[in-house]
Structure 1
Amino acid sequence: MDRFRNDGLTFDVRDGGPPDGEPVVLLHGFPQDSSAFDRMAPLLHGAGLRTLAPDQRGYSPGARPSGRSPYRLRAVAGDVVALLDAAGIERAHVVGHDWGGAVAWALGAWHPGRVRTVTSLSTPHPGAVTKALLTSDQCLRSSYMAAFQLPVLPERLLLARDGAALRGVLENGGLPPDAVDRYVDRMREPGALPAALAWYRAVPLAARDAVGRVGVPVLHVWSTGDPFLGRTATERTREFVTGPYRLEVLEGVPHWIPELAAERAAELVVAHTRAAA
């Protein structure tokens, strides 16, 4: 499949690997798209896994509703359930990075009957992040999210001079030039950056969508070079998992784990899926 529909929106999806393989949903974050997993996916296919990597809400050109309410976590998690329905898949392993990690946590909590395992790359459990905001440097690490609440100005600043500011953030984070070009080009599409930032602007609505404890097996991969997500939230995540849980720490790797530590991440995901068989 290359597309599916939900909530009147059309989503692009990359469907790869053996059709009869264990299904793994790959969920990207900001400001990426499904190509974030271009290095990981072939390694998963080689291990016999089928991958479905959607361009999430706001990133698929046919799925960019206006406003912030359509980007609540409950809505974007529903998109993944719709993907599983469209593919005829009862349960899948879910791997998410950055915002995709938040969606993975939500799916594990709200739809455990559809999720075999959760793998979160970088992202602690949302409840752990909330607690860490009050007890660590996580508030400072997350300060950019408050800036993104402003209307219009973030879009203008990030895309000025052909996206120089956004490009600089990605380059300084260690992403290779081809990935930087892809992500900046995507954000320059009509309506793309306001839609992507709407995920952040929907955060004040999160009280309606609290993510509870997760009982399915969880693998959490965090990297010490991540400037956005700190150790305190990472270490508190265990409090929000009632099932099997493993934390894997990658030393010195920046935030962009799918691109910069693809081989190790794929190895961990393969082992995690096999352990749940």
Structure 2
Amino acid sequence: MKSITAGCLEIHYHETGPDSGDPVILLHGFPYDPRAFDAVAARLAAQGFRCLVPYLRGYGPTRFLSPDTMRSGQQAALGADLLAFMDALSIPSALLGGYDWGGRAACIVAALWPGRVRGLVSCGQGYNIQNIAQASTPAPAAEEARYWYMYYFHTERGRAGLTLNRNDLCRHIWQIWSPSWQFDAATWAASAPSFDNPDFVEIVLHSYRHRFGGIPGDPAYDGIEAQLAAQPGITVPAIVLQGGDDGVDPPTLHDPHRPHFTGFYARQIIDGAGHNLPQEAPEAFAAAVLTLAARTARD
């Protein structure tokens, strides 16, 4: 494991592959950690890519530099962290791949700083930038039911539950979001320590409360949030992967996120995979990265 000072964080990350390889940054979601990309990174490293897999703010050994920094989990903070990580490592541009929170960070950098992104693999919704202005618009009942955890985290009971029962809660989420993924005890044990980060609870609660517009964000990110409120398009080449068995964000026949992508775009539904797609279907995720790498090399 390596670490680097980037923005307001000391970001810890795993690096696989040759130093001279084309960089690929892989970003995990909630409630997961970099272990989700072990098999993907191994496949890409074998093809000569330099794979970097950071722990997001609030996860694993990543820490804030100052106790006075707001423990924000808002989308703009995640995007700013990724950009700062690239700057700190002097990476002018990279292929980005992520899901859930990590996919959101990747989409934000691709939308606002497209010159830094050679290609994007995004899972689940695809266009993972929150439309906070419309967050209070109710969804169909089945969708609302899938978002129980968001509403739970708006309550102090949810705070207590995440604080006292985080392993039980996070493991339950793994099971219901990926019902066909038969992970074993060793797989869970490899990731569970990442949720013991001292800022995990505050960042998770802030993330879900902020996205509904109920609490303010960190003023340091107001400028980025203002740009994201316009729902900027993504111009870089992109492949969206969706797990056919995703228990929280199941794919639909209609692709409502397609209009947000104005460059090369492909969407694939991966049968037998759930929400944690890179860990459940690493071959498909790695293949998507390789497809974009070949395409951008031609361009």
TM-score range, shorter chain: 0.7 to 0.9
Identity of aligned residues (%): 27
Counterpart in 2 of 1:199?
Answer: 207
Query: Which of 171, 178, 187 lines up with 1:167 in the alignment?
Result: 171
Q: What are the ranges of 5 or more consecutive residues in structure 1 without an aligned counterpart? A: none
Q: Is the 8 A contact 2:233 2:261 kept in 1?
A: yes
* Deviations 1:31-79 (CA, angstroms, capped at 9, x unpaired): 1122211111000111111111110111144435688773222221111
Report the 3-state secondary structure (helix = DSSP H, G, I; strand = E; otherwise coil) of the residue aligned with 1:95: strand
1:97 equivalent to 2:105? Answer: no
Query: Which of 245, 249, 252 lines up with 2:272 in the alignment?
Result: 252
| CA–CA separation in structure 2 for the residues paired with 1:246 and 1:45 | 24
| CA–CA separation in structure 2 for the residues paired with 1:86 and 1:234 | 40
| CA–CA separation in structure 2 for the residues paired with 1:197 and 1:215 | 32
Q: Which moved more, 1:157-166 or 1:107-116?
A: 157-166
* Deviations 1:3-40 (CA, angstroms, capped at 9, x unpaired): 12233321101122111111111010011122211111
Query: Which of 156, 169, 174 lines up with 2:160 in the alignment?
Result: 156
Query: Which of 93, 113, 116 lines up with 2:115 in the alignment?
Result: 113
* Deviations 1:182-201 (CA, angstroms, capped at 9, x unpaired): 33322234332333343223
Q: Is the 8 A contact 1:105 1:125 kept in 2?
A: yes
| TM-score relative to the length of structure 2 | 0.81
| CA–CA separation in structure 2 for the residues paired with 1:139 and 1:171 | 19
Counterpart in 2 of 1:22?
Answer: 22
1:217 equivalent to 2:237? Answer: yes
Q: Is the 8 A contact 2:27 2:99 kept in 1?
A: yes
Name the structure with the higher helix share.
1
| CA–CA separation in structure 1 for the residues paired with 2:71 and 2:198 | 20
Q: Is the 8 A contact 1:93 1:273 kept in 2?
A: yes
Report the 3-state secondary structure (helix = DSSP H, G, I; strand = E; otherwise coil) of the residue aligned with 2:272: strand
* Deviations 1:222-253 (CA, angstroms, capped at 9, x unpaired): 01100111334971111100111000110131
- Change beyond 3 A, Cα 1:100–1:85: same
Q: Which moved more, 1:86-95 or 1:193-202?
A: 193-202
Q: What are the ranges of 5 or more consecutive residues in structure 2 without an aligned counterpart? A: 218-224
- Change beyond 3 A, Cα 1:162–1:96: closer
Q: One-letter code of the match for 2:122?
A: S
- Change beyond 3 A, Cα 1:128–1:83: closer
1:141 equivalent to 2:143? Answer: no
Q: Is the 8 A contact 2:60 2:197 kept in 1?
A: no
- After superposition, the CA RMSD in angstroms is 2.8
1:49 equivalent to 2:57? Answer: no
Q: Which moved more, 1:138-147 or 1:155-164?
A: 155-164
| TM-score relative to the length of structure 1 | 0.87
Q: How many residues in Structure 1 have an aligned counterpart in Structure 2?
A: 276
| CA–CA separation in structure 1 for the residues paired with 2:79 and 2:253 | 22
Q: One-letter code of the match for 1:93?
A: L
Q: One-letter code of the match for 1:23?
A: P
Deviation, structure 1 residue 82: 1.3
Q: Is the 8 A contact 1:141 1:230 kept in 2?
A: no
